[in-house]
Amino acid sequence: MRKLLIILLFQCVAYLNPVNSQSLGFEQSECGIISNTSYYIDNYQVGFHGSGYRLYHNGNIIAEEYASLGGYNGEELRFIDDTTGFFIVRVYYTSNILVYKIINDEVIILGYSPGFDYDFFVANRHTLYFASNINPPNILYISRLSDLLPQKYIVYTNLLVSDTTVFDTIMGVPFCPDLKEINYRYKITNDTLIYTILFSVDTLQNTGKQNLLDITIFPNPCKEFIKIKTPQNINPYSIHVLDNSGMLRKSILISHPGEMDLYIGDLDNGIYFIVLDNTKTNRVYKLIKI
C-alpha cells in the first residue's frame, strides 16, 4: 500500500507544472497530415489503479497494452495517408511516452521519451521530431524518431539558458517544400528559448536503404516460427530478436533473397522486437509470441 501511495503521489506532483515554465511547441506548421476515421483509440480502466488502451482499425483491435498499476493511455493519432500514421501512448508507472508508427495493421515502436508534456513534428513519411520535458525540474528532451534509423536524442539538457542550434540528417524528402529547419520554442520565466534543428536530407536514392522496407515478416502473433520473405534485390542484412527489456535473444545473418523460417518456439510468450540491420539503416518490428 505504501508503494502504491508513493507512485500516485509522484504522478500528482509531477503534473503540477510551475507557471514560469511552458512548452510553446514547434514553430512551423506540418504539411501532409490528413484526417483518418478508420483508426480510433479506446482507453479503459483496469481495476482501481490501472488503465489500458485498444487501438482499432476498421473495428478490429490491432494493438493493446494495459497494466493494473499505473497503466497505459492512448494519447494521439496523426496520419499521413489512409493507412500510415503515428501513435502516441503515455505510460503512467514509468512516466514515459511511447511513439509508434502504424502501417496498415502493423504497429512498430519508434522510441520513447521521458516526460509529461510533449509536442511532435512529422517531417516526412519516415521521420518525426519529438520534444518532451520533465518539469520540475526543467529537463528538456528532443529526439529524432524514424523507422529507418535508431532513435537519436539531439537535445538533452537541464541548462535552459540560451538559444541552441543542432544538426541532423533526415531520411526522405520533407513533406513541406524547401523545409531546412525546425524551431522548437520553450518559455522559461520571462524568456522564450528557441531550439533550432538544421538538417540535411538523404533522399533514399542509394541502394540498400529502401530494401529493408520490402522485407515481410509474418505471422504476428506467432507460436513457433516466423516467416521472413526477402526481395530479390536485397543486400546482406542481420536479424536480431530482442525481448521487451532489450536483451538480445537471437541473431542471424541473411545473405540470400527468398523465404526462410526463424524458430522462436524456445522463447517465452510475450512481446519481442525484430530488428533488421544492414549496417546503413535498420527497421524494427514489434512481435507477439503466444
- Alpha helices for the chain (secondary structure H): 2-14
Q: What is the pTM of this model?
A: 0.67
**Number of independent structural domains in the chain:** 2
Does one domain contain both 13 and 141? Answer: yes
Is 157 a residue whose pLDDT tops 90?
no
- Averaged confidence pLDDT in the chain: 83
Q: Read off the pLDDT of each residue in 22-47 and give the average, rounded to a whole number.
A: 93
Q: Read off the pLDDT of each residue in 203-216 and give the average, rounded to a whole number.
A: 60
Encode pLDDT of 234-255 as tens digits: 777 788 887 776 677 888 888 7
Does one domain contain both 71 and 104? Answer: yes
Does one domain contain both 150 and 221? Answer: no
Taking the mean position of all CA atoms in its chain, how far away is CA 45? 24
Q: Kindly report the backbone phi and psi dihedral angles of residue 14, in degrees, each rounded to the nearest multiple of 5, phi listed first.
A: -65, -30
Burial 117-134 (b: 16+ CB within 10 A, else e): bbbbbbbbbbbbbbbbbb
Does one domain contain both 164 and 269? Answer: no
Does one domain contain both 57 and 196? Answer: yes
Q: Which helix (H) or strand (E) holds 284?
A: strand 282-289
Q: Kindly report the backbone phi and psi dihedral angles of residue 13, in degrees, each rounded to the nearest multiple of 5, phi listed first.
A: -65, -40
Q: Read off the pLDDT of each residue in 262-271 and give the average, rounded to a whole number.
A: 89
Does one domain contain both 96 and 238? Answer: no
Q: Read off the pLDDT of each residue in 49-57 and give the average, rounded to a whole number.
A: 95
CATH code for the domain of 249: 2.60.40.3080
Q: Tell me how far apart the alpha carbons of residues 245 and 146 are, in angstroms, rounded to a whole number.
A: 20
Question: In sequence order, what are the residues at sequence separation of 6 or more whose Cβ sits closer than 8 angstroms to the Cβ of residue 3?
Answer: none
Does one domain contain both 194 and 61? Answer: yes
Does one domain contain both 75 and 145? Answer: yes
Is 29 a residue whose pLDDT tops 90?
yes
Boundary residue ending a domain (202, 221, 254):
202
Boundary residue ending a domain (170, 202, 234):
202
User: Quick one: pLDDT at residue 20?
Assistant: 65
Does one domain contain both 128 and 242? Answer: no
Please, which residues bridge with residue 134 across strands?
139
Q: Which domain holds residue 226?
A: 211-289
CB-CB neighbours of 23 under 10 Å = 20
DSSP character for 248?
Answer: E
User: Quick one: pLDDT at residue 76?
Assistant: 95
Is 136 a residue whose pLDDT tops 90?
no
Does one domain contain both 243 and 270? Answer: yes
| C-alpha separations of 226 from 44, 216, 217, 282 in Å | 32, 10, 7, 19
Ramachandran assignment for 172, one of left (phi > 0), alpha (psi -120 to 50 degrees), beta (any other) = left
Does one domain contain both 31 and 140? Answer: yes
